[in-house]
Structures are given as C-alpha cells and as structure tokens.
Chain A
C-alpha cells in the first residue's frame, strides 16, 4: 500500500529528472540525424542550450552570489553601480521580435508566388512592344496597355493583401498593450519602487503575492511563496519556492524565480541574476525567432500551379515558335507570337480571386473567433493532419477545480464544467455536511471585493489555486461562504507549510447551543489519516479500522491515478469542558490536540478539460486528424486529461496499461497491441529521429509529457517528416518555438502570452479548442472551392489561346484581341469565380481524411487536362463557330478567311474582296474584326456561364447541390418589359412634341 503511494509521488521526481537531462542533452543529440541544411539552426539551438545550462547561480551560496555580482543583500547595489550596469547590459526587457519594415512586407506581397508570374508577363509585354516598335514605330500600343494592366493587377492585389495583413496585425497590437511593470528594489540601503525595465543584475528585489516576477531571480529568503510557472513549463499547479538549492537543473530548483511568471502568494526577496533577453524566457523567445517560417501549404500549392501554368505556357509557346518559324514567319514576329502565347496563358484575374477568396474566408473565420494573421494560413488548417496541442489552457481551463469527492466509502463526481452548475452528487449525507464545513472553514482564500454581479467561477480570488478551487466549489454549493465563515468565527489558524503538509484552523460554531470549538484540518491525505483515529461514515463516527483504511487507500490511489491532486479533510469537536469558550489557543505551542481526529473525506482537484474539447477532439478524429498532446506537465496528469478529452480513447491502452492488466513486464508486451502511448521527455531524449518517426506512425494516440520547448520543436519536426501538415496550439512562452515551426501555429487569444501570439499564424480569440474544428472545416471548404475557382478560370484560357494559335497557323483574321481577353479575365470572370468561394460543401468534408500534402494537389493533372483539353476545347470550338458565323454573314465565308491574314492586316489594301465580291477598306475590315472579337467574347461568356454552373460541384449532380430556381429569373421580366415600353413611350412623345412640357421635363 505504502509502496503504491510512493509511486504517485515518485512521478514528480522522475519528471524533474527528465527535464534536467533533456535540457542538457537534446540539442547535441537530437539534431544529429537532420539534414545538413539545418546546420546553422542546429548551432543556434546548441548555443541557446549551453546558455541555459550555464546558469549555476542556484548552486551558489549567498556569500558567493554577493561576491559574484558585487552586491550586498542588505544594502543592495548603489545607484551608481546600477546605472553603470544598466548602461552596460541594457534595460531589463525582451527585445521585441525584429519587425519587418512595412515596405518589405509590402514588397513581399508584390512578388510572392503568383505575382511573379504576372510581373514576368508584364515585362514580356513591354519587351514585345519594344521589338515591335523597333520594327515599326507605328505599332499598336496593345502590348503596353496589357503590360500596364498586369502590373496594375499585381499592385492592387498586393495593396489589398497588405491591407488585410495590416488589419489583423492591428488587432494583434491591441493584445500587446503591456502595463508598465514596477519593481520593489533595495538600492543604497533604501527600498524604492522603480520601473522593472531598470533592474540590473545584482539588484535585490522584493516580491509579493500577485506580482509578476520582474527578472530571473535567485531567491534569498522566502515566506510561503508559490509561483505559477505554467507559461514556462506548462505545469498548472502552483510551484512552491524556497531559498534552498534543491535541484541541479535551474528549471527545477526551488530557489529560482523566473522572469514573467507570477508570484501567487507569499513574499520573497531575491537577487536579480539575469535580465532581459538573458532570462530563461528571453532565451526561449529568441529560440522562437531563430526558427524559420515554413511555407504555407497553399503557398506551395500556388507555386505548383504557377509551375503548371508556366510549363504549359512555355511549351505551347516554344512549340508554336517552331511552327511559326517553319511557316516562314520572320523570327522577330515569331518571338512576338511566343511572348503573346506566354502572356495569354497567364490567368490575370486569379491572383485577385484567390486573395479575395482567402480574405472572405478569413473574415468568416474571424466571426467564429479564429483570427488569421496570415491570409494563406486560412487554408493550412484545412489540410492539417496532426494537431499538437498544448494541455494547459488549451485543452484545460487552466484552473484547479474540484473533480471528485470521497466520503462514506464512495467516490462522487463533481461537475467540472466551466460554470459548475450541475453538482449532482448526493448531498444528503451527514458526512457531506461536515465535509462542506471543513472545506468552507479551513480555507484562507477570499473573493476580491466588489464582484457580486460576476458569476462565481469568474470571480477573482486572492489565494492559491487549490484553495480557490475549494472556495468556488463551496460557494457554488453552499452559497455565501464569507457569511458562513463570519458565523463560525475563526479563533486560531496554522497555515499550510511544506513540513507540516497540513492546514488547520479552529472555529466557534454557528450553533448557539453548541459551545464546543471545531477544529478543522486539511492536507496531504496520508498525513491527515495518520492523525485520525476515527472516520465519519454516514454522519456517524466510526473507529478507523483496517478495512476503512484500505478503502481510503484504494480511493486515494484511484484519484491519484486520475492525475488529480488529492486532499484529505478531518475535524474534531473539542470537548467543551477542556476547552471552554474563553480558552486561548496558541498555534506555536499547539495547546490543542492534533491527533485522534475524525477523518471525514477526500477531495481531489484537477485542471479540468474545457467542456467543448472532447467533442472537438472527436470531430478532429472523424476528420482524420491526429490529435497529439504535448505538455510540460506530469505524465499521469497528462494521460488523465488525454483520456478525459478523448485524445486517448476509452478503449485504447498504452503498453504500460497492457502490462499492468496482464501482469507482465513492459518489455514483454507486443507493442503493436497498444494504440496509445505516453512518452515523457526523458524517453524522447533517448530516441533517435527514426525511433520518433516509428513512434509517430505506429501509435494513433500519443501524449508527450514533461517536454521542454526544444523537444516540442523536435516533435513538430518529427510530424513534418511524416509529410503531415502540423498545427500546434499553445499559449505559453514555452510553446512559441513550436508554434513558429508548425505549419500553422495557433495561439490562445485570452490566455496566450505575447510571445505565443507573435509566433502564431492564427489566434483563437475565445481560447476554445473547438474553434479549431470550425477552422478546419472552413479551410477544407476553401481548398475545395479554390479548386473549383481555378478549374473555372483555367478553362477559358484555352478558348483565349486557341484563336491566337489558329491565327498564326491558319492565318485567319485575329478572332479575339488582347484587350478583350483582359476584359474577360479581369472583368466578367472575376465575380463568378469569387462567387465559387461561397459554394457550400458537396459532402461532409469533416468525415474525410485530410489531404495528402504531396498527392492531393490543388491543381492536379486531371484538373488541368479536363479544364484545358475537354471543356476549354469545347469552349474554343463554340466561340469559333460564333466567330465564323459573324464573318460569314458579313460576307467572308470561312474558306476565304484562310491565309487572308497578311492582306487583311495591311492597312494599304483598301479593296479586299470578300466571298460576295464586295470590296472592303482597311477600316471597314477592322470594324468587322472587332465585331468578331465581340462574337468570340460573347461566345466564351455564354459558355462560361455553363462552365460556372458545372464547377459548382465536382462529383454531385448540380441538381443535388441545388441551383437558383430558374422560374425566379422570370418573375421580374414583366417589369423589365414595362420599363422598356415606358421609355419608348417617353421617347415617342419627345419626338412628337419637341419643345413641349414633356420634352423639357423628360429629355435628358
């Protein structure tokens, strides 16, 4: 029994060992297997780690410290010393991440991915004009216009994208507001308050509960100080601090307080040992800035698309260059044809369409509390195949909450949802009455005043996390706790300390007939049990026998196994004869019994999962997304949370679970039987990249616990090696390197640290993991819809290109001009293709696997071929029929058009004969040519309507998808006719009665 108890506590010890060893080792070993291209970064990690390990101030004695930093713990630094140090080391603040200059950001928008294609197109146009001009100074300016329009498109789209980005950066800026921090420092033997920025190494600072620790400090003297290290290590429990050196690792030792963590309670005095960027937090922040930004999947896809388009353009161009040369065109003419073909292949409108489409989705996502910092990240979430989620604050509520109770030999479940509203356990037992009294009275936490209107769970509490949890728990169940405490006046109190491991208080009871004092005590369960001789069952005192003790241990083990923090509660009514009303209790001499108490019950607390998370995890699962938990917290807690949110599903077991169930050694278990794995930082440290790959592929449910920021990076990289698109969620500073490394980093908007938000691509404004699911859905939808948009846009490319090819080979009058093509690409086609972004999903997109990065391309061979060679060709044929019809009905039958090009375009031929023997001047022909353009244009347009309709779906019938009912097109037709008739009447009267009243009023 005791052995098992030890196991629970050993967790903490082994956990600390992990982190210490990891920190020392992983930088050198983990990156050995990586490719050479990571060399510079590898060195960077090493350097960072070396610094971290260098910190040995926690091992030094106070005297040595004083010597090292040339200070005195009583008088502090002199102000001249401080000024000197400040000048030398710089202010105690994190260097903000290097801001990219606005102009660079702007230029980036101008030349990224797609834009480059348009730029090349524009430049080619100008070159073509240059060639034409050198041959004939009176050549048409079409190419110059085209080039200018292309440039204009890029610039306008760039401005738009830049504006979009700037807008979300502005929203970010509101997060960055930081209240200037003050620090209480001893200088020149005087206590003074100075801005925390002015702290220097060697300063002696005092901190109190509620303060943010202003720098990395070595604690010199401590009174009941606890700190919240969750942003640094991911531990949601408050960490006690002391002035003793307890651990080799600076991260684990108790005598170091870290910059930017919060002191929850107690007071402490410490010496500043590191400031600004040299603090642990500063080092992690710079680690994040050392991680390069990965290209977003959509950027890769667009690049791939550009390759395809460029490939098609260049190969058709060269093919027709050869044909043109062999048709005895002049080489310069052929070069102009070549350029023309390449430019004709550039989908001018697509850049604008994609940008608008993405920003529409970004807007839609922002409404659902996903703020996208980078437009391209909109789609990334849709292709995500692995989510590495931080535990604290993301999956959990980041506050201790009462989860279970044990009394009357029974475990009760408390409601851990965000509002605690639904406490259903049996409250009728007498034991509960006693237990609730202990919970209420043996508690020093208090609500900050003036919060009556705030929901209980949201009120601010002064006190540590577990006391807060107990306070809120009792407030919800019993009502006004402060009132109860007032009625049961406290006469004596021993606060919790680490040697006693209990907390005790003595109260007058609120029962006027009962003159006895009530002694209540809570603390570590085994300590509490030691002090008890009886146990309360169903409100009755019973002797504590072996059976009940065993029941206690079973319950304790079970709750501990859930990763919960367990507290024991006991009480004793002090006999009135021994302790009369006037008795003075002395907490130092302990003139009251602290043994033979009556054990009442156990209560366990956990940082509970957010209530929306399990559902969201299930949805991710069904969407084929693997959810991996990566946390700095203990494996047991991590596993418990993982189980409760479904990251480890109810029926899957880890290797250890199987071993335990079958009573065999862990080594004997067939690893294939286990679906889940819990891996600690220590185990991860010993793994080669290959082993990590194997782990990631073999287990579908993985929890990484006790991981360091560096290891989070390694995990993300491991996932990326599996060709997965990795999303990382996190809120702490320790998450920021991984957030940056991930394909999409998702930071928490409320709980997130600035470092995390800066590193992330997306911010969940409501900190709700479930919002990710919405994001995934939108991302997938936009990918599908972009596919449709591109298919729609590409189709007409062939219809626009064919005329030019036919013109070169067959010598017809040019069927469609450049400006007309632009009018289609940038005019009539833009709105329909944007409209496709609003297309609803064809089937349940959340029930299919995420796309494979390398196989499911945005633009694949099938899409290109179907658009170009099937639909595009039909379109071209249709448009040509329209073109031939116009020419034939005007007098030029198709047969006469063949090879007419040279004469047709010669402005000196003014009597060109048509099929009917009529003679045409150049200008008359030109006019006919323009009519031909219009015919061709209208031909394409009409077919693009059909193209638009077919692109609504890729698999389903249009009739399944639903279409605007055709009859509604005709509802307003009578009114259209009415307008027409009315206006004809108006004109008739104007013509009939010039100068009349009607004419004056109605003629415009």
Chain B
C-alpha cells in the first residue's frame, strides 16, 4: 500500500521493474551482478549441502540405534485392534447390508472374503510349520532358515463352514453370513495368561424382546490358538499370518438394521477404550433384507 501512495504510473513501475531485472549501468540482474549471484548461489548450495548432510547423518544414526526385531517403544500398542472381513464402510464405521434374494448385492462381499482367504491357502502357507501345542510358541533363537523364527500355519480350511471351500457363498445366500475376525499383530504381545483368547459376537444393546444372537464360531469356540503368539516381528517371522476366527451369524433378524459387536476375550486385551472403537473389538451394522 505504501507503493500505492507514491502514485507511480504503470509504465514507470514497469520501467523500474525492468531496470530491476536488468540494470545495464551496473550489470545487475535482480539486484545482483552475475558474479555476486554465483557467489551467493555457491554459498547457499554449500549451506544446504551441509544441512542435508547433517540431516542424513542424523537419520542414519537413528536407524543404527534401532533394534531390527523389536521397536523401542510400544506404549501406543497396549492392546491389539480387531478388524472384520468383509469390510464395507458406511458413513460411520462398518456397514454391511445386502439382499438375500438379490445376489448382486452380496457377491462383492463374498468376493472380498475369497480374496482375503487367498493368503491362507495351503500354498501360501507352506513356509510355515504345523503347530499343535495349545501353548505359547516361544522361540529364543533363530532356528528357521535364513536366520528367522518359525511361524505357525493357519489355513483357510480351519474355518470349516466359513472357509469358502464347502460353501463358496459363505452363508450369505441363506442369510447366515460368515464374518471373519482378525486380531492385529503386536510384536511380543501375549494376549492372556494361559487361556486362549476367544472371539465373542453379540448384538449391541438388543431389544428386550429380541432373541440372543446365535453364533457358530470356527475354529470351534472362536479361539485364537496360543501357538500363534508371540509375534516376533516381520524380520524374524516373515511368513507369519494372523490367526482368524470366523463367526457365522445364524439368526440375524431380517429387514432390520442390527448392531453386532465382536469382542476378543483375553486377559490382556481391552475392549473398553471409549476413544478407539477398534481396540479389542469390532462393531458393525448389519442389515439383511429379504
């Protein structure tokens, strides 16, 4: 605005600007002579090279101090999150709605499950070992090939009726859909003190008159076997797959939206964090139309 007060004409300003761009008297471009520009550029190049170097050095040092197998701190991951497949999100969270009689409305859900379970085919699990013990599978040393630790197999067929092998429609066609519950990985996390963690699905605030939700769990009882724990991290267990639990909802009321919550019941898994709806539990809306 100060410039406006001086009331220069436009041509005057242009002339001044031109002169600023190239001043023939002093040989200055944009206020500096060529050699000055070279010097100042050199200075800045030098300055920024040094600063980049310092930054790189800091990051390098930081990387050197990190443990390759376990993160330094896990204070943000006290309790694992839980996710659900199929995962269709609505305005607020998971929202699954389909029409039994119209297979176009659920074929993509089935497709999602098939895709997801592709990672659990015997072929993709062949680098893992079979585990039978129902105890934690502690491994102190790196006995697996390539200096790694063993991972336990989890194949889709363990989900029986919800494996997609016996019923490729995962029960969606008859209105008894399968939902696959997955617990997030946390390095060195032990979910409980000896009993296997188990998934438990129920209706959230059911109506008085509503019947309790009948659920069939696969593997039986909806347990995550303890031999999948602890997880030793990506570098130690490159072939690790999360154990899964499938819940087949048998009596979902039709044509009404119900809110289903699947919790993980284990000593060290909390599901009552008011801020985080996905910690230790997963909630979803389900609306089966007929």
A919 within 8 A of B: yes
| Nearest Cβ on chain A to B241's Cβ, whole angstroms | 11
Q: Which 3 A/B pairs are nearest by Cβ-Cβ distance? A: A917-B234, A921-B81, A919-B184
A884 within 8 A of B: yes
B10 within 8 A of A: no
A873 touches B184 (CB 8 A): no
Q: Write out the residue numbers on chain B whose beta carbons fall within 8 Å of the beta carbon of A927.
A: 76
Assuming A304-B2, A893-B66, A919-B242, what are 8 further A-B pairs, CB within 8 angstroms?
A: A877-B55, A881-B58, A889-B73, A894-B63, A910-B82, A918-B71, A918-B74, A923-B273
A880 within 8 A of B: yes
- Among B196-204, B256-264, B274-282, which stretch is in contact with chain A? B274-282
Q: Write out the residue numbers on chain A whose beta carbons fall within 8 Å of the beta carbon of B186.
A: 918-919
B83 within 8 A of A: yes
A916 touches B233 (CB 8 A): yes
Give bound CA distance, A472 to B256, whole Å.
Answer: 109
Give bound CA distance, A898 to B76, whole Å.
Answer: 21
Q: Write out the residue numbers on chain B whose beta carbons fall within 8 Å of the beta carbon of A874.
A: 51
A888 touches B51 (CB 8 A): no
Which of chain B's residues 59-90 have a Cβ closer than 8 Å to chain A? 59, 62-63, 66, 69-77, 80-83, 87, 89
Q: Write out the residue numbers on chain A whose beta carbons fall within 8 Å of the beta carbon of B44.
A: 869
Give bound CA distance, A492 to B240, whole Å.
Answer: 130
B1 touches A303 (CB 8 A): yes
Q: Which of B7, B63, B81, B184 contacts A37 (CB 8 A)?
A: B7
A923 touches B73 (CB 8 A): no
Give bound CA distance, A874 to B47, whole Å.
Answer: 10
Which of chain A's residues 23-65 have a Cβ closer than 8 Å to chain B? 35, 37
A84 within 8 A of B: no
Give bound CA distance, A34 to B289, whole Å.
Answer: 87
A890 within 8 A of B: yes
Give bound CA distance, A880 to B62, whole Å.
Answer: 12
Q: Write out the residue numbers on chain B whose beta carbons fall within 8 Å of the beta carbon of A919.
A: 80-81, 184-186, 242
Q: Write out the residue numbers on chain A whose beta carbons fall within 8 Å of the beta carbon of B182.
A: 911
A924 within 8 A of B: yes
B172 within 8 A of A: no
Give bound CA distance, A35 to B81, whole Å.
Answer: 75
Return the chain A residue nearest B275 by Cβ.
Answer: A923
Give bound CA distance, A874 to B51, whole Å.
Answer: 7
Return the chain B residue nearest A915 by Cβ.
Answer: B234
Residue ranges of B at the interface with A (Cβ–Cβ < 8 Å)? 1-2, 7, 44, 47-48, 51, 54-55, 58-59, 62-63, 66, 69-77, 80-83, 87, 89, 93, 182, 184-187, 231, 233-235, 237, 240, 242, 273, 275-279
Task: Scan A912-944; emit 1 where CB is below 8 A from any B CB, else 0.
Answer: 011111111111100110010000000000000
A893 touches B63 (CB 8 A): yes
Q: Write out the residue numbers on chain A whose beta carbons fall within 8 Å of the beta carbon of B70.
A: 916
Give bound CA distance, A819 to B71, whole Å.
Answer: 29
B71 touches A890 (CB 8 A): yes
Q: Which of A35, A307, A877, A918 contacts B184 (CB 8 A)?
A: A918
B51 touches A921 (CB 8 A): no
B72 touches A889 (CB 8 A): yes
A870 within 8 A of B: yes
Give bound CA distance, A37 to B48, whole Å.
Answer: 49
| Nearest Cβ on chain A to B233's Cβ, whole angstroms | 5
Give bound CA distance, A873 to B59, whole Å.
Answer: 17
Interface centre among A893, A923, A927 (most CB of B within 10 A): A923
Return the chain B residue nearest A113 by Cβ.
Answer: B1
| Nearest Cβ on chain A to B236's Cβ, whole angstroms | 9
The interface size bin for chain A is: 35 or more
| Nearest Cβ on chain B to A711's Cβ, whole angstroms | 26
Q: Which of B66, B72, B74, B231 contacts A917 (CB 8 A)?
A: B231
B276 touches A923 (CB 8 A): yes
B279 touches A889 (CB 8 A): no
Interface centre among A881, A890, A913, A918 (most CB of B within 10 A): A918
| Nearest Cβ on chain B to A858's Cβ, whole angstroms | 13
Contact A890-B51, Cβ < 8 Å, known A304-B2, A911-B83: no
Give bound CA distance, A413 to B234, whole Å.
Answer: 101
Give bound CA distance, A842 to B185, whole Å.
Answer: 60
Return the chain A residue nearest B273 by Cβ.
Answer: A923
Contact A889-B71, Cβ < 8 Å, known A910-B83, A917-B233: yes
Q: Write out the residue numbers on chain A whose beta carbons fall within 8 Å of the beta carbon of B66.
A: 888-889, 893
Give bound CA distance, A888 to B87, whole Å.
Answer: 29
Give bound CA distance, A362 to B82, whole Å.
Answer: 63
What are 19 A-B pairs at a CB distance below 8 A? A303-B2, A870-B47, A877-B55, A881-B59, A889-B72, A889-B73, A891-B71, A891-B77, A893-B63, A893-B66, A910-B83, A915-B71, A917-B231, A917-B240, A918-B74, A918-B186, A922-B276, A923-B273, A924-B76
Q: Write out the residue numbers on chain B whose beta carbons fall within 8 Å of the beta carbon of A881.
A: 55, 58-59, 62
A11 within 8 A of B: no
| Nearest Cβ on chain A to B196's Cβ, whole angstroms | 20
Q: Write out the residue numbers on chain B whose beta carbons fall within 8 Å of the beta carbon of A870.
A: 47
Which of chain A's residues 871-912 have a Cβ closer than 8 Å to chain B? 873-874, 877, 880-881, 884-885, 888-891, 893-894, 908, 910-911
A922 touches B278 (CB 8 A): yes
Q: Write out the residue numbers on chain A whose beta carbons fall within 8 Å of the beta carbon of B184.
A: 910-911, 918-921
B76 touches A884 (CB 8 A): no
Q: Which of A893, A920, A931 contacts B81 (CB 8 A)?
A: A920
B81 touches A910 (CB 8 A): yes
A873 touches B77 (CB 8 A): no
Return the chain A residue nearest B1 by Cβ.
Answer: A303
A916 touches B234 (CB 8 A): yes
Give bound CA distance, A881 to B186, whole Å.
Answer: 25
Contact A924-B51, Cβ < 8 Å, known A884-B62, A889-B66, A931-B76: no
Contact A921-B278, Cβ < 8 Å, known A300-B2, A893-B66, A910-B83: yes
Give bound CA distance, A307 to B231, whole Å.
Answer: 57
Q: Write out the residue numbers on chain A whose beta carbons fall within 8 Å of the beta carbon of B83.
A: 910-911
Q: Write out the residue numbers on chain A whose beta carbons fall within 8 Å of the beta carbon of B80.
A: 919
Q: Write out the residue numbers on chain B whose beta carbons fall within 8 Å of the beta carbon of A914.
A: 71
Contact A918-B185, Cβ < 8 Å, known A877-B51, A877-B54, A890-B73: yes
Give bound CA distance, A339 to B265, whole Å.
Answer: 47
| Nearest Cβ on chain B to A854's Cβ, whole angstroms | 10
Give bound CA distance, A891 to B185, whole Å.
Answer: 12
Give bound CA distance, A923 to B273, whole Å.
Answer: 10
Q: Which of B77, B185, B187 contacts A924 (CB 8 A)?
A: B77
Q: Write out the residue numbers on chain B whose beta carbons fall within 8 Å of the beta carbon of A915.
A: 71, 234
Q: Which of B76, B275, B278 contacts A910 (CB 8 A)?
A: B278
Give bound CA distance, A928 to B44, whole Å.
Answer: 35
A918 touches B77 (CB 8 A): yes
Q: Write out the residue numbers on chain A whose beta carbons fall within 8 Å of the beta carbon of B73.
A: 889-890
Q: Write out the residue numbers on chain B whose beta carbons fall within 8 Å of the beta carbon of A873.
A: 48, 51
Contact A921-B187, Cβ < 8 Å, known A873-B51, A881-B55, A911-B83: no
Q: Write out the residue numbers on chain A whose beta carbons fall within 8 Å of the beta carbon of B185.
A: 913, 917-919
Give bound CA distance, A927 to B235, whole Å.
Answer: 25
Contact A923-B234, Cβ < 8 Å, known A881-B58, A890-B73: no
Q: Write out the residue numbers on chain B whose beta carbons fall within 8 Å of the beta carbon of A920.
A: 76-77, 81, 184
Interface centre among B58, B70, B76, B87 (most CB of A within 10 A): B76
Q: Write out the residue numbers on chain B whose beta carbons fall within 8 Å of the beta carbon of A917.
A: 185, 187, 231, 233-235, 237, 240
Give bound CA distance, A780 to B63, whole Å.
Answer: 50
| Nearest Cβ on chain B to A251's Cβ, whole angstroms | 36
| Nearest Cβ on chain B to A233's Cβ, whole angstroms | 35
A918 touches B187 (CB 8 A): yes
| Nearest Cβ on chain A to B145's Cβ, whole angstroms | 18
B276 touches A924 (CB 8 A): yes
Contact A888-B63, Cβ < 8 Å, known A874-B51, A921-B184, A924-B77: yes
| Nearest Cβ on chain A to B72's Cβ, whole angstroms | 4
| Nearest Cβ on chain B to A241's Cβ, whole angstroms | 47
Q: Write out the residue numbers on chain A whose beta carbons fall within 8 Å of the beta carbon of B75.
A: 890
Give bound CA distance, A928 to B7, whole Å.
Answer: 55
Return the chain A residue nearest B84 by Cβ.
Answer: A910
Q: Which of A880, A888, A894, A921 contacts B276 (CB 8 A)?
A: A921
